[in-house]
């Protein structure tokens, strides 16, 4: 630890602030680095129960911003929030065979309580079944369609894979949207529109670029007609599924007896969609933007957007007075003015860097003389002298620059990590080197399993690029499209 960031005073250990800064380099061991950032930036804590996590306020804030952003969209689209029960009867899962098979291994069952009800109950891993039971009662006529419902809730999937805070936990928070349409066409259109909205949220709120497209049959949601996805690439070369939007076809509707009378009084089966994003996005923010000094947050989701650190030398009172004035003038932002005298400025710098605060404003005696402050950007460490009278109008500009800059950096990484190939050896080498491989693929289930066995990679999504007669990179059968493959979280 550098000299200037060691605290000076001999007061009792200030435990809230006792983190000693980061010790693991991101490049060296990203998994250890991630665990350290999550702990030291107070994002999450381990639960006494394996695979569960405690979402601490610094991370929950990001989730609230995601909720706020997406709720605005929902409102605009007249999609209504509602809440369905946590517990789902066993018979509901059985109705849609593929869905049942997909989720069976991950269900947590409730012990029969009070002996009053016969049926076994599971904690929801997703709510298609219990929601569609209600839909079958609510929908009678074409006038009831489209029906558009969203729910923010917790879900539980008893993962056997290694868990990791935010990225893979047995319980997580998410939103699940469920819509019912008269026609396939409407359903298709909105499945894609929602996916586009997810892409936009990742780009504009979280500064994360994603690839967007359809999943192969192997990777689609259990019970879906088809699944579309957005995928980001983490710095360790693993893809992360950021959100999915499914066209469920008519399978659930048939399983749950959802029908409607059309305008000609004929009984019809509707089309359905479901779609979701989860607290996993918080993990993506941490992994994508963080560096060796800790968290780096996009300004729009930072609990503290600006840290004002007065350099308390000379006329302290005068400096503090000005610092307070500056803080007051920035009341549309979340600003922390750090007046503590028992820590050196250097110690404070390290603390706000660890926490990912996008902008630091330094104000020392010489600055005060010159009516200026120093802006220090968290993302690239760049400094800029700013006249005090210009601070307010400068900030939105700086925030925009930070956002764009971390987005562009991530985008550059994503696109420079793609290897396009038609040869299996190159394909395998790309995966080995933690890249995304883009190759013609037959979309066969057994071929995909064979690729996974050989390389540990799974298909992430089907690109828009037709393969025009090219053969599948693995089996040599005919391939319709180029498909992205990568290892994944």
Tell me the closest approach of the beta carbon of residue 343 to a copy of itself, in angstroms.
Answer: 12
d(CA 240, CA 418): 15
Among 149, 309, 311, 461, binds a copy of itself (CB under 8 A): 149
| Whether 362 contacts 311, CB under 8 Å | yes
Provide the mask over 218-257, with x wherever binding to a copy of itself is found by CB under 8 A and - wherever it is not: ----------------------------------------
Q: Does 12 bind a copy of itself (CB under 8 A)?
A: yes
Q: Which helix (H) or strand (E) holds 121?
A: strand 121-123
Q: Does 160 bind a copy of itself (CB under 8 A)?
A: yes
Tell me the closest approach of the beta carbon of residue 295 to a copy of itself, in angstroms.
Answer: 17
Among 48, 115, 118, 469, binds a copy of itself (CB under 8 A): 48
Among 173, 195, 224, 255, binds a copy of itself (CB under 8 A): 173
Q: Does 415 bind a copy of itself (CB under 8 A)?
A: no
For 197-344, strand residue ranges (E) read: 211-214, 226-233, 239-249, 260-261, 267-268, 271-278, 306-310, 335-337
- Of the pair 153, 374, the CB lying nearest a copy of itself is at 153
d(CA 323, CA 246): 51
**3-state secondary structure (DSSP) of residue 463:** strand
Q: Does 281 bind a copy of itself (CB under 8 A)?
A: no
Tell me which residue has tokens 């004929």: 266
Nearest-10 crossing angle of helices 280-289, 57-76: 110
- Of the pair 42, 184, the CB lying nearest a copy of itself is at 42
Nearest-10 crossing angle of helices 445-455, 424-432: 50
CB atoms closer than 10 angstroms to residue 465 = 12
In the DSSP assignment, the letter for residue 112 is P
d(CA 73, CA 81): 12
Tokens of 251: 């399978």
Q: Does 301 bind a copy of itself (CB under 8 A)?
A: no
| Whether 158 contacts 237, CB under 8 Å | no
Measured in degrees and rounded to the nearest 5, phi and psi for residue 412 equal -60, -45
Tell me the closest approach of the beta carbon of residue 273 to a copy of itself, in angstroms.
Answer: 18
- Of the pair 141, 396, the CB lying nearest a copy of itself is at 141
Using the contact rule CB under 8 A, the part of the chain among 108-116, 224-232, 318-326, 354-362 near a copy of itself is 108-116
- Of the pair 172, 485, the CB lying nearest a copy of itself is at 172
Of 36, 65, 63, 57, nearest in space to 295 by CA: 36
Tell me the closest approach of the beta carbon of residue 284 to a copy of itself, in angstroms.
Answer: 18
CB atoms closer than 10 angstroms to residue 2 = 9
Specify which residues 154 forms β-bridges with.
173
Tell me the closest approach of the beta carbon of residue 179 to a copy of itself, in angstroms.
Answer: 13
- Of the pair 85, 476, the CB lying nearest a copy of itself is at 85
Specify which residues 273 forms β-bridges with.
179, 247
* Half-sphere exposure in the Cβ direction for 400 (13 Å, CA): 5
Q: Does 425 bind a copy of itself (CB under 8 A)?
A: no
CA-based end-to-end distance of the chain: 33
CA 86 to mean position of chain CA atoms: 23
Using the contact rule CB under 8 A, the part of the chain among 143-151, 194-202, 221-229, 358-366 near a copy of itself is 143-151
Q: Does 104 bind a copy of itself (CB under 8 A)?
A: no
Tell me the closest approach of the beta carbon of residue 141 to a copy of itself, in angstroms.
Answer: 5
Tell me the closest approach of the beta carbon of residue 159 to a copy of itself, in angstroms.
Answer: 10
| Whether 373 contacts 326, CB under 8 Å | yes
Quote the longest CA-to-CA distance of the chain: 85
Among 2, 28, 263, 317, binds a copy of itself (CB under 8 A): 263
Tell me the closest approach of the beta carbon of residue 199 to a copy of itself, in angstroms.
Answer: 26
Among 100, 132, 134, 304, binds a copy of itself (CB under 8 A): 134
- Of the pair 105, 476, the CB lying nearest a copy of itself is at 105
Among 158, 346, 401, 475, binds a copy of itself (CB under 8 A): 158
Q: By the criterion CB under 8 A, which residues form the site for a copy of itself? A: 12-18, 45, 47-50, 52-57, 60-61, 63-64, 80-87, 89, 92, 108-111, 113-114, 116-117, 121, 123, 130, 133-134, 137-144, 149, 153-154, 156, 158, 160, 171, 173, 261, 263, 265
């Amino acid at each position: 630890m550098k000299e200037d960031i060691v605290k000076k005073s001999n007061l009792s250990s200030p435990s809230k602030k006792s983190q000693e800064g980061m010790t693991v380099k991101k490049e060296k061991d990203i998994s250890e680095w991630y665990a350290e950032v999550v702990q030291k930036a107070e994002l999450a804590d381990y639960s006494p129960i394996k695979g569960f996590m405690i979402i601490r306020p610094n991370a929950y804030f990001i989730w609230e911003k995601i909720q706020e952003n997406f709720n605005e969209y929902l409102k605009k689209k007249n999609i209504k929030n509602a809440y369905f029960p946590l517990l789902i009867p066993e018979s509901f899962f059985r109705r849609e065979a593929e869905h049942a098979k997909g989720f069976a291994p991950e269900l947590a069952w409730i012990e029969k309580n009070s002996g009053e009800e016969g049926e076994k109950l599971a904690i929801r891993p997703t709510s298609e079944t219990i929601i569609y039971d209600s839909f079958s009662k609510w929908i009678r006529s074409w006038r009831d369609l489209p029906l558009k419902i969203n729910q923010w809730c917790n879900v539980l999937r008893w993962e056997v894979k290694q868990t990791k805070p935010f990225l893979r936990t047995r319980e997580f928070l998410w939103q699940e949207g469920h819509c019912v349409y008269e026609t396939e066409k409407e359903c298709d259109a909105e499945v894609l529109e929602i996916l586009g909205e997810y892409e936009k949220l990742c780009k504009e709120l979280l500064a994360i670029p994603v690839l967007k497209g359809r999943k192969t049959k192997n990777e689609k949601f259990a019970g879906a007609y088809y699944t579309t996805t957005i995928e980001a690439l983490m710095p360790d070369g693993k893809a992360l599924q950021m959100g999915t939007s499914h066209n469920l076809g008519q399978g659930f509707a048939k399983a749950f007896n959802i029908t409607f009378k059309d305008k000609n009084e004929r009984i019809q089966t509707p089309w359905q969609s479901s779609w979701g994003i989860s607290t996993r996005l918080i993990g993506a923010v941490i992994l994508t933007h963080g560096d060796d000094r800790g968290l780096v947050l996009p300004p729009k989701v930072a609990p503290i957007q600006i840290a004002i650190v007065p350099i308390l030398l000379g006329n302290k009172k005068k400096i503090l007075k000005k610092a307070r004035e500056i803080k007051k003038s920035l009341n549309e932002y979340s600003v922390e003015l750090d007046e503590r005298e028992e820590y050196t400025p250097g110690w404070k710098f390290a603390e706000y860097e660890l926490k990912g605060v996008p902008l630091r404003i330094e104000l020392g005696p010489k600055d005060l003389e010159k009516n200026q402050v120093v802006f220090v950007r968290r993302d690239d460490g760049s400094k800029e002298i700013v006249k005090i009278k210009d601070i307010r109008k400068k900030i939105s500009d700086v925030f925009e620059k930070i956002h764009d800059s971390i987005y562009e950096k991530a985008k550059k990484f994503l696109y420079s990590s793609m290897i396009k190939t038609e040869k299996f050896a190159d394909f395998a080498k790309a995966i080995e080197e933690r890249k995304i491989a883009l190759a013609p693929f037959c979309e066969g289930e057994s071929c995909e399993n064979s690729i996974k066995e050989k390389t540990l990679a799974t298909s992430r999504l089907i690109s828009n690029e037709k393969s025009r007669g090219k053969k599948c990179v693995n089996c040599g059968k005919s391939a319709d499209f180029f498909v992205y493959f990568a290892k994944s979280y």
